[in-house]
Amino acid sequence: MSDTQTSTLLTIRIVPDPVLRKTARAVTPADAAQVRALIPQMFATMYAAPGIGLAAPQVGVLLRLVVIDIAPEKTPAPLVLINPEVVAASPESATREEGCLSLPEQYAQVVRPAWVRVKYEDERGARREIEGDGLLAACLQHEIDHLNGVLFVDHLSALKRNMLLRKLAKEQKEKTSRK
């Protein structure tokens, strides 16, 4: 059994949890043990949700750590990004439907750069770069936004954002009253 299958699931924070609006701090060597323990838990939580990306602030940890797997049901390709940063982006935009584990059942068309290059560190501390377009580009940008206290709804018009957030609040209230 893999670490991911035996890991404890973490609680995903739901909007309007204030931790989702905070900026995460850089991971330092002093965080190594915490990050090593957190990575399998974050993957297990993401896969169970199910989702394709999860940032540490979404589980209440204000560290610049992201896990991504854009095709877990086909060929799993788990990706860990520590201290990721977008270093280049295309001038061309792409529109994709996005959702978020911190805004369950809410989806909207989001416009972002069509292509990005991201610098990050892997689990062993090696400096790496990844380039992506399509779903990978959107996922990278979405998860890095979480590290800066930004949600996908922040890329929408005020009207669309408010409609979506009101709908989420209503659904969460109904869910709570059914318990």
**Tell me, what CATH number does 43's domain have?**
3.90.45.10
Name the domain count of the chain: 1
Per-residue pLDDT tens over the stretch 52-90: 999 999 999 999 999 999 987 788 899 999 999 999 999
> How many other CB atoms sit within 10 Å of the CB of residue 117?
16
pLDDT digits (tens, 9 = 90+) for 149-177: 999 999 999 999 999 999 999 999 988 88
Record the pTM: 0.94
Nearest to 23 by CA among 154, 150, 151: 150
93-120 per-position pLDDT tens digit = 999 999 999 999 999 999 999 999 999 9
Active site residues: 143
From the CB of residue 170, how many other CB atoms can be counted at a distance below 10 Å?
A: 10
Q: Which helix (H) or strand (E) holds 5?
A: helix 3-6
SS (H, E, C) 113-158: ECEEEEEEECCCCCEEEEEEEHHHHHHHHHHHHHHCCCCHHHHCCH
Amino acid type, 92: E
Can you tell me the distance from the alpha carbon of 43 to that of 18, in angstroms, rounded to the nearest whole number?
Answer: 23
Domain boundaries, position 109: 3-178
Contact 106, 167 (CB under 8 A): yes
